[in-house]
């Protein structure tokens, strides 16, 4: 990665808090079957890393289970606490998790693993997981096989340095075992307003200059006026790997 790319990634990673409200309205939840595949039934302590406004956290809660959230952005943590006041949300990152060694059964990172430095985050996640604990990674991806969704993505790519989320997770590496993958296809009911919020909450849109941002949003609005969507088709891409017994 060049210095410019690194700088842009850093600015984008820190930009989420600015649009936490639009983020909360515009981003989709995670399907239950995907969460059940990512987190073992017996997990009693589960961490949501890069929890944002708690979109995944809501689906992680289960009777008899303690759920903890870790999130670097103050704006996101504020929104999180409004939505989930009973779930502790701590300041931290994948590279520095504010939890003791061997203290959690499962750690899930939704739509955020591409922001972490895996060289630091893999050993850090391994530190907080108990032996045999599970790391789960998940991304909700729009299904671009649907024409209007492909058109929307084309607009985003025209304006923004829309990062192709770097999901190089075919192997997480030592001390984790092999990575398993499964995709879940589903559709999320969304109004055109929800889609506008989803676009406005993207880090690469937030950090555009004002004129380009306005132009982009105008083009998206025109597409939505024509298409009048009622749902967004998604493919939820999931990965899981277990920590070797130490
Ligand atoms: C696209 S949002 C995903 C939020 C939430 N997990 C969800 O699924 O809606 C990415 C999140 O990663 C967080 N983030 C950025 N850099 C991070 C890092 N190094 N470690 C952990 N989280 C990070 C951002 O603050 C943001 O809340």
As a whole number of Å, the end-to-end CA separation of the chain is 34
Residue to probe by mutation, ligand 1, list 22, 72, 114, most atoms within 8 Å of CB: 72
Q: Find, among 29, 11, 14, the residue nearest to 71 by Cα.
A: 14
- Which of 25, 34, 50 to mutate to test ligand 1, by most ligand atoms within 8 A of the CB atom? 50
In this predicted structure, the answer to whether residue 178 has a pLDDT above a threshold of 90 is yes
**Distance from residue 109's CA to the centre of ligand 1 (Å):** 8
| pLDDT higher than 90, residue 43 | yes
Split at pLDDT 50, 70, 90, the class of 132 is: very high
Nearest CA owner, ligand 1 atom 15:
13
| Model confidence pLDDT, tens digit, residues 144-166 | 989 999 999 999 999 876 555 66
What phi, psi does 70 have (nearest 5°)?
Answer: -125, 130
99 alpha carbon to ligand 1 midpoint, in Å? 18
Indicate which residue's Cα is closest to atom 4 of ligand 1: 52
116 CA closest ligand 1 atom index: 19
What is the 93 CA–ligand 1 centroid distance (Å)? 8
Q: How many residues does the chain have?
A: 246
∠ CA 116-137-187, nearest 5°, is 120
Q: What is the pLDDT of residue 1?
A: 56
Domains recognised in the chain with CATH numbers: 3-242 (3.40.50.150)
- What is the 175 CA–ligand 1 centroid distance (Å)? 23
pLDDT, one tens digit per residue, over 5-22 is: 555 555 555 555 556 776
| The pLDDT of residue 246 | 47
Surface-to-core class of residue 202, CB atoms within 10 Å of its CB (0-12 exposed, 13-18 middle, 19+ buried): buried
Distance CA 208, CA 211 (A): 8
Ligand 1, atom 23, lies closest to the CA of: 50
Is the distance from CB of 242 to CB of 134 less than 8 angstroms?
yes
Q: Where are any strands of DSSP class E within the chain?
A: 45-49, 66-70, 89-90, 104-110, 129-142, 180-189, 231-242
Q: How far is the CA of 56 from the centre of ligand 1 (A)?
A: 11
**Helix 192-200 vs helix 147-159: crossing angle, to nearest 10:** 30
Ligand 1: residues within 6 Å at CB? 13, 16, 27, 49-52, 55-56, 71-73, 76, 93-95, 110-112, 115-116
Distance 245 CA to ligand 1 centre (A): 28
Atom of ligand 1 nearest to the CA of 13: 15
> 170 pLDDT exceeds 90?
no
């Amino acid at each position: 990665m060049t210095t410019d790319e690194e700088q842009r990634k850093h600015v984008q990673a820190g930009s989420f808090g600015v649009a936490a409200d639009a983020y909360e309205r515009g981003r989709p939840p995670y399907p239950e079957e995907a969460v059940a595949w990512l987190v073992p039934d017996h997990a009693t302590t589960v961490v949501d890393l890069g929890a944002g406004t708690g979109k995944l956290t809501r689906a992680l809660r289960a009777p008899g289970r303690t759920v903890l959230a870790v999130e670097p952005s103050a704006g996101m943590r504020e929104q999180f606490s409004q939505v989930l006041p009973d779930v502790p949300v701590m300041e931290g990152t994948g590279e520095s998790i504010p939890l003791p060694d061997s203290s959690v059964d499962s750690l899930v990172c939704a739509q955020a693993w591409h922001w972490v430095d895996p060289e630091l985050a893999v050993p850090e996640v391994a530190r907080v997981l108990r032996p045999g604990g599970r790391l789960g990674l998940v991304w909700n991806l729009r299904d671009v096989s649907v024409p209007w969704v492909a058109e929307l993505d084309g607009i985003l790519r025209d304006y923004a340095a829309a990062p192709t989320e770097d999901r190089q997770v075919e192997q997480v590496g030592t001390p984790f075992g092999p990575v398993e993958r499964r995709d879940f296809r589903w559709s999320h009911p969304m109004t055109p307003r929800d889609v506008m919020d989803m676009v406005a909450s993207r880090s690469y849109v937030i950090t555009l200059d004002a004129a380009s941002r306005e132009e982009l949003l105008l083009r998206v609005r025109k597409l939505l006026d024509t298409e009048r969507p009622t749902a967004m088709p998604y493919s939820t891409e999931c990965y899981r790997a277990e920590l070797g017994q130490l």
